[in-house]
Structure 1
């Protein structure tokens, strides 16, 4: 009887998990990962496979005659990208376009947001009217801009010609065509900056602003010393969003000018399109596209670094 009781007491210890060797434990994925695994595999196949395929293309001369064929050229496409004067010119135009569009949009967007923030009556109606350009498809913006600037029947061309401000075809001159596509971009995407900035203004702690008013700080003092520091992080986020979009901007310029006249508006995405789908230099186009990706990553890291520094200061 004592022996049976002794066996019953020892048995649980023999078969307990703690007594099993470590190698016998089974490693299993968390339930959430298991449920998401099919979707993750599909997303990886959609994004990673084309990405590595483009990297492979950038080191090859791709031919479409008789099917897709690859001829290894090493770093030839990359060297050509850095030495091609046309590509360098397109990069210069892209940087100029980036600074002009994003700079004007930030100034106008912040000014519009500050104005809307001070409005007490009809704010929703005014905001709805201001946001209309943002909801128009970029294709329509490009076609509308080309129509309005047509030298024969365009309203804007007629107004500029009648007033004597500009008598030549707007989209036929290099400088005026570049200014025109910049203004098209500004018209469409300034409302986005205004909306993001207005969200930051609404979330400000009003107690601090009211205390500054009581202390005698005027509007400009409150704006410079309190409002701008409080919404600085939101403004950087808006700048990051527009910067990432401006780097790869294509549709409005393509429909309005197709990169002309004389390549005056051919920023780097349009140069990439020409190399890939007009001249069928797919390997060279892949190298240009990867160069755009590297530039986007660098710009994004710069903006994120600004945000992190702001967080550490605060």
Structure 2
């Protein structure tokens, strides 16, 4: 007799029992998820729709200020705004250099820490910069860069790498100084992600590579690297999403100066919206930034999805 046919006694009569692990009706999912869906809609969809509305209007902040419909004026203004395009260039330069350094140094740190004698202690030390708020990290490095008592300023002057002026006061050095702050604070995140991927590298494949006479470098590129490509792509995606909207370090260190050499797009957006109160124009800038972020994010995710089947297929062939 099957479980479905079995009966239990209750209240003087037999009734059929429900088979174990039976899937619950999907109609219960709607009332359970509806409060969360409504909350997410209020927090994300409504502001997004309002952002689109403001991009076609001249929005004032003063009480009773009229919201005048201007059509595509805010969008057409973007094409003739030289600072808008210069801010895109600064953002691309900052994000590209930061991600290359963070991914490269993070991978190197993960390889050095993996299976070392003091791995737990090194991971604890590695986490310390990440525990600091970005604004606090910016203020800390502002003291280190200070032209009067900053230790890094003194070191660079002693080595002859800084001829005159200050680090943050030079348009040639300010952007790279902020890149150093970002690399210092967020390289540990990449290292932890890559380290988690290294823990999943098959030991038998590494041992087989060593038996074939491959050295540590060759074993890493031939065995470990294909296995941690997913971890690397996740790290790149996370850092890209963070770098393209970075503003904390720039406000704390330079405020966009000197001579707008560090005024990247998020900072320019902040300036237009909350310093000049051009909320309509700022909304159009925000939407372009959002669109580029979504497109590049989808590209990274698509690359991640394409890599996964190739890695799985390669593992099946080895087996």
Same fold (TM over 0.5): yes
- The answer to whether structure 1 residue 129 and structure 2 residue 129 are counterparts is no
Number of positions where the alignment pairs a residue of Structure 1 with one of Structure 2:
286
- The answer to whether structure 1 residue 266 and structure 2 residue 263 are counterparts is yes
Q: What is residue 32 of structure 2 aligned with on the other side?
A: 35
**Deviation string, structure 1 residues 225-244 (Cα, Å, up to 9, x no partner):** 11111111110110000000
Q: What is residue 174 of structure 2 aligned with on the other side?
A: 177
Q: Note the residue ranges of structure 2 that are not aligned, 5 or more in a row.
A: 1-24, 312-319
Q: What is residue 67 of structure 1 aligned with on the other side?
A: 64
- The answer to whether structure 1 residue 290 and structure 2 residue 287 are counterparts is yes
Q: What is residue 191 of structure 1 aligned with on the other side?
A: 188
**Deviation string, structure 1 residues 80-102 (Cα, Å, up to 9, x no partner):** 12321000000000000010101
Q: 1: CA distance between counterparts of 2:65 and 2:32?
A: 37
Q: 2: CA distance between counterparts of 1:154 and 1:302?
A: 42
Relative to structure 1, the CA distance from residue 225 to residue 29 in structure 2 (aligned partners, 3 Å threshold; closer, same or farther) is: closer
Segment of structure 1 superposing worse, 100-109 or 209-218: 209-218
Segment of structure 1 superposing worse, 43-52 or 241-250: 43-52
Q: What is residue 12 of structure 2 aligned with on the other side?
A: none
Relative to structure 1, the CA distance from residue 110 to residue 48 in structure 2 (aligned partners, 3 Å threshold; closer, same or farther) is: same
SS at match of 1:170: coil
Q: What is residue 96 of structure 1 aligned with on the other side?
A: 93
Out of 123, 146, 153, the position equivalent to 1:157 is 153
Q: 2: CA distance between counterparts of 1:195 and 1:311?
A: 20
Q: 1: CA distance between counterparts of 2:223 and 2:180?
A: 31
Instruction: Quote the offset at 1:68 in angstroms.
Output: 4.6
The structure in which a higher percent of residues are helix is 1
Q: 2: CA distance between counterparts of 1:240 and 1:280?
A: 32
Q: What is residue 144 of structure 1 aligned with on the other side?
A: 140
Segment of structure 1 superposing worse, 260-269 or 72-81: 72-81
Segment of structure 1 superposing worse, 128-137 or 216-225: 216-225
**Deviation string, structure 1 residues 133-159 (Cα, Å, up to 9, x no partner):** 111110111111111111112121122
Instruction: Quote the offset at 1:218 in angstroms.
Output: 1.7
**Deviation string, structure 1 residues 37-75 (Cα, Å, up to 9, x no partner):** 122212211211111001000011112233353111111
Q: What is residue 235 of structure 1 aligned with on the other side?
A: 232
SS at match of 1:69: coil
Q: 2: CA distance between counterparts of 1:293 and 1:76?
A: 19
Instruction: Quote the offset at 1:126 in angstroms.
Output: 1.0
SS at match of 2:173: helix
Q: 1: CA distance between counterparts of 2:224 and 2:40?
A: 41
Segment of structure 1 superposing worse, 152-161 or 224-233: 152-161
Relative to structure 1, the CA distance from residue 68 to residue 206 in structure 2 (aligned partners, 3 Å threshold; closer, same or farther) is: farther
Q: What's the RMSD between the two structures over aligned residues?
A: 1.4
Instruction: Quote the offset at 1:78 in angstroms.
Output: 1.2
Query: Structure 1 length as normaliser, TM-score?
Result: 0.88
Which runs of structure 2 are paired with 1:103-122 in the superposition (5 Å)? 103-119=100-116, 121-122=117-118
Q: 1: CA distance between counterparts of 2:218 and 2:139?
A: 44
Query: Structure 2 length as normaliser, TM-score?
Result: 0.87
